[in-house]
Amino acid sequence: MANKANKKRLKNVNKMKQEESFQKRLTKAQEIVSQLHQDFLKKRKTNQASDVPTKHQEAYFALRQRAIKYIGIDRGRSSGQVKKILENSLPEEAALNPQLIERVVQDLIDEQYLDEYLCGRRTIKRHSGRAQKSKKYIEQLMLRQGLSEQTVSDLILEIEDDQVTAETYRIIKQEEWEISQPEKVMRHLASRGYSTGICQEIVRKWLNEISNDE
């Protein structure tokens, strides 16, 4: 009987602990939701910038809302992409208030709605490894994407020198290259943005390595 009572008591204690744990998690979740709500209210207030003239507030709000809709949950866009969307979607506001587009985009960057560095790093990753391109090639890609010159200048520093990336690319791809067509390999490397000097160096290393293995 005592053993049965102890089991019942232990069961009640475990139940109380579970209920207490659930209540703590519920309270924590409610606190998070409350904080998110407060953050939303603060950000909503920024839809109307205090230092934008009153007569331009409506246009600012319209441009900002369209930009946020375009960005959605993906912050990895370029400022150029957002500007183009605003100019195409709201041509009248854009034509009358071109300075507001710059202001809206900068505000979104400052508020971390928009992250050009994320956008640029995605481009770098897409063109690395088996898809490796030269620094200059990737730089031009990022500029065409509409990334700011400052962002591109910063991100280029994160890419290794062409000699290093070209050699890594050789190691990855050389088994697919045809030894009887070294000129084709040269053209292939050049199409990825590498200089003539680097192309020649990589092909020479490749052929020398084959010769040494035989």
* pLDDT higher than threshold 80 for residue 23: no
Predicted confidence (pLDDT) at residue 18 exceeds the cutoff of 90: no
* Phi–psi pair at 132, nearest 5 degrees: -55, 140
- pLDDT tens digit sequence for 158-178: 999 999 999 999 999 999 999
C-alpha 70: how far from chain center: 15
pLDDT single digits (tens) 57-84: 888 889 999 999 999 989 999 999 999 9
Confidence label for 37 from pLDDT (cuts 50, 70 and 90):
very low
Q: For residue 139, is pLDDT > 90?
A: yes
pTM above 0.85, yes or no: no
CB 101 within 8 A of CB 81: no
> How would you write 71-132 as a 3-class SS string?
HCCCCCCCHHHHHHHHHHHCHHHHHHCHHHHHHHHHHHHHCCCCCHHHHHHHHHHHCCHHHC
Q: Which residues contact 166 (CB under 8 A, 6 or more apart)?
A: 132, 134, 189, 194, 198, 199, 201, 202
The mean pLDDT of 31-45, rounded to a whole number, is 52
Q: Please give the pLDDT value at position 34.
A: 56
